[in-house]
Amino acid sequence: MERAYDPYENVVTVLEQAMDVGNIDRSMFEIIKNPQRAVIVYLPVEMDDGTVRVFEGYRVQHSNIRGPFKGGVRYHQDCDLNETMALSTWMSLKCAVVNIPFGGAKGGIKVDPKTLSKQELRRLTRRYTYAIEPIIGADSDIPAPDVNTNSQTMAWILDTYSMLKGKPCPGVVTGKPVELGGSRGRESATGRGVVISSKLILEQMGETLSGVRVAIQGMGNVGANAARIFHHRGAKVIAISDISGGLYCSDGLDIDLISDFVTDGENLLKDYNAPGVTHISNRELLLCECDILVPSAMENQINEELAQKIKCRFIVEGANGPTTAAADTILSERGINLVPDVFANSGGVIVSYFEWVQNIQTLTWERDQVNEMLEGIMTKAFYEILKEVEVSKCSLRMAAYILAIRRLLYAEEIKGIFP
Ligand SMILES: NC(=O)C1=CN([C@@H]2O[C@H](COP(=O)(O)OP(=O)(O)OC[C@H]3O[C@@H](n4cnc5c(N)ncnc54)[C@H](O)[C@@H]3O)[C@@H](O)[C@H]2O)C=CC1
Ligand SMILES: O=C(O)CCC(=O)C(=O)O
């Protein structure tokens, strides 16, 4: 019988592979493997009908060796401690790969937010903030949006935390509304980073984004922004999907029209209709013939079975952990180039870093400046990864992990492990 997917086991497997490929001393593996702190909180919340429900929440702080813990907060019915541990590990690796002075953390609540009213969500978010208040802060651990959370969620966290501290604390979260100290460009940053990653890998083949056929799974913050930026940079987005299913058009979808449809009133793609557009399943999207496939939804989307059948030339991981370790090997054998999550979706945390810098220095930067700096950091990191590919004769994922592990372990070493 096939074993159930376990995200933490998956990330540990890839860490082990990278230590072998990069010939890294295994004596400190436990430090990289285990999070520094994992907290479970129970959150009593009054529902609109007067009943009380208790929700389970998490904050896992994987590493702060290179700077304050940093990472998003997810609201999802399948969220659990194990997934949050994996997501926090990816955050440490991501911040190290792109060399920003943050560690890694992740938070979450086991809840299907679609089943709650806006008031219930606000009360739940305030309870969660109250519960994790002792371990977060601008100089200790800085949450941000992830799946099913957004700038509104960050505004509630910011307000609750500031009330508890008796003063405005804008640096405690990133991804908040610009009006409350958010950074211009943060909302679209992860999607923009996915497009930058695609441009960089295409350049290696002497190609540009122009006319390239792209398929994107997930039409949320990451997928929708990536789709819009791909479209505006001359790529042809031929397929997109959300939880309800997907849309396909071989001549390219009208992303501006679809974005208006999806964001105005939170419609689902299954209800979108236009001439020349066909409805497809998420599986069909992942298997469609295209140049670049961008999984931007959840973990464990590309497994061994799909990896044998996928018909794209490149995979650029917008989501965290969309490809299993076993699928990775198959894709690599099939010559499909994969740009790994810990680099490809780093645009979000890079601009979160810019937001935090603006907050603690009471500065505001223009959007163009933010976008330019984002591209600069990602380009530099990409060439460092490529250099490691040459040295270690390995995939982009292995190279990114090796680079990140070395940086984390070097920080451990120069600090000295024991007081
Ligand atoms: N928001 C951010 O800045 C960052 C997000 N990420 C990662 O990107 C991924 C997506 O995050 P967001 O866009 O923020 O979430 P979101 O909540 O804004 O959007 C998620 C999208 O995925 C779709 N979806 C959910 N389950 C699906 C399934 N089983 N099949 C197909 N579509 C499905 C939803 O309908 C929605 O369109 C996650 O893996 C997240 O950890 C990574 C870096 C930063
Ligand atoms: O912006 C951030 O701090 C973190 C975003 C995030 O959760 C991620 O990169 O997975």
**For 335-350, what is the mean pLDDT?**
98
- The residue contributing the CA closest to ligand 2 atom 4 is 71
- CA of 167 relative to ligand 1 center, distance in Å: 33
Would the annotation count 94 as a binding residue?
yes
- CA of 146 relative to ligand 2 center, distance in Å: 7
pLDDT band at 263 (very low <50, low <70, confident <90, very high): confident
- The residue contributing the CA closest to ligand 1 atom 43 is 345
- CA of 202 relative to ligand 1 center, distance in Å: 24
Q: CB count, 10 Å around CB of 310?
A: 21
CB 303 within 8 A of CB 5: yes
- The residue contributing the CA closest to ligand 2 atom 2 is 349
When divided into structural domains, the chain yields a total of 2
Atom of ligand 1 nearest to the CA of 223: 13
Strand-pair partners of 236: 213
Look at residue 324 and tell me if it is in a domain.
yes
**Pocket probe mutation, ligand 2, options 158, 350, 352, max atoms within 8 Å of Cβ:** 352
Q: 317 and 196 in one domain?
A: yes
Mean pLDDT of the chain: 97
Among 171, 200, 216, residue at a domain's last position: 171
Roughly how many angstroms between the first and final C-alpha of the chain, as a whole number? 47
Atom of ligand 2 nearest to the CA of 348: 1
217 lines ligand 1 (CB under 6 A): yes
Tokens of 359: 């907050």
Q: 124 and 194 in one domain?
A: no
Look at residue 299 and tell me if it is in a domain.
yes
Q: 306 and 207 in one domain?
A: yes
- Of 189, 103, 120, nearest to 367 by C-alpha is 189
How far is residue 98's CA from residue 347's CA, in Å, rounded to a whole number? 9
Judged by DSSP in three states, 338 sits in: strand
Query: Does pTM surpass 0.80?
Result: yes
CB 301 within 8 A of CB 331: no
Would the annotation count 221 as a binding residue?
yes
Backbone CA torsion sign across 301, 151, 244, 190: negative
Among 290, 308, 339, residue at a domain's last position: 339
- Of 34, 20, 1, nearest to 325 by C-alpha is 20
Task: Evaluate if residue 284 carries a pLDDT over 70.
Answer: yes
Segment 220-237, tens digit of pLDDT = 999 999 999 999 999 999
CB 228 within 8 A of CB 261: no
CB 198 within 8 A of CB 230: yes
HSE of 333, CA atoms in CB hemisphere, 13 A: 10
Classify residue 306 by burial, with Cβ atoms within 10 Å: 0-12, 13-18, 19+: middle
The torsion defined by the Cα of 355, 358, 360 and 363, in degrees rounded to 10, comes to -150
Task: Evaluate if residue 185 carries a pLDDT over 70.
Answer: yes
Q: Considering every ligand atom, which ligand is closest to the CA of 147?
A: 1
Among 114, 143, 171, residue at a domain's last position: 171
pLDDT value for 416 = 86
pLDDT band at 282 (very low <50, low <70, confident <90, very high): very high
pLDDT value for 418 = 63
Segment 239-252, tens digit of pLDDT = 999 999 999 999 99
pLDDT value for 79 = 98
How far is residue 331's CA from residue 307's CA, in Å, rounded to a whole number? 6
Q: 166 and 204 in one domain?
A: no
Segment 97-148, tens digit of pLDDT = 999 999 999 999 999 999 999 999 999 999 999 999 999 999 999 999 999 9
Identify the domain containing residue 245 by its residue range: 187-339
- CA of 76 relative to ligand 1 center, distance in Å: 11
281: left (phi over 0), alpha (psi -120 to 50) or beta: beta
Instruction: Mark whether 106 is an active-site residue.
Output: yes
Would the annotation count 13 as a binding residue?
no
- CA of 144 relative to ligand 2 center, distance in Å: 6
pLDDT value for 296 = 98
Look at residue 133 and tell me if it is in a domain.
yes
CB-based pocket (< 6 A), ligand 2: 70-72, 91, 94, 144, 146, 174-175, 320, 345, 348-349, 352
**Interface pTM, i.e. ipTM:** 0.99
* DSSP element (H, E) containing 365: none
Look at residue 356 and tell me if it is in a domain.
no
CB 104 within 8 A of CB 94: yes
**Pocket probe mutation, ligand 1, options 77, 78, 146, max atoms within 8 Å of Cβ:** 146
* DSSP element (H, E) containing 358: helix 347-361
**For 44-65, what is the mean pLDDT?**
98
pLDDT band at 332 (very low <50, low <70, confident <90, very high): very high
Q: 200 and 151 in one domain?
A: no
How far is residue 220's CA from residue 381's CA, in Å, rounded to a whole number? 26
pLDDT band at 419 (very low <50, low <70, confident <90, very high): low
**For 16-25, what is the mean pLDDT?**
96
CB 96 within 8 A of CB 403: yes
Judged by DSSP in three states, 105 sits in: strand
Task: Evaluate if residue 1 carries a pLDDT over 60.
Answer: no
Look at residue 206 and tell me if it is in a domain.
yes
Segment 355-396, tens digit of pLDDT = 999 999 999 999 999 999 999 999 999 999 999 999 999 999
221 lines ligand 1 (CB under 6 A): yes
pLDDT value for 27 = 87
Q: Which of 106, 176, 199, 236 is catalytic?
A: 106
pLDDT value for 266 = 76
Would the annotation count 393 as a binding residue?
no
pLDDT value for 265 = 54
pLDDT value for 122 = 98
Tokens of 51: 């009943």
> Residue 20 is part of a domain; what is its CATH number?
3.40.50.10860
pLDDT band at 3 (very low <50, low <70, confident <90, very high): low
Q: 197 and 163 in one domain?
A: no
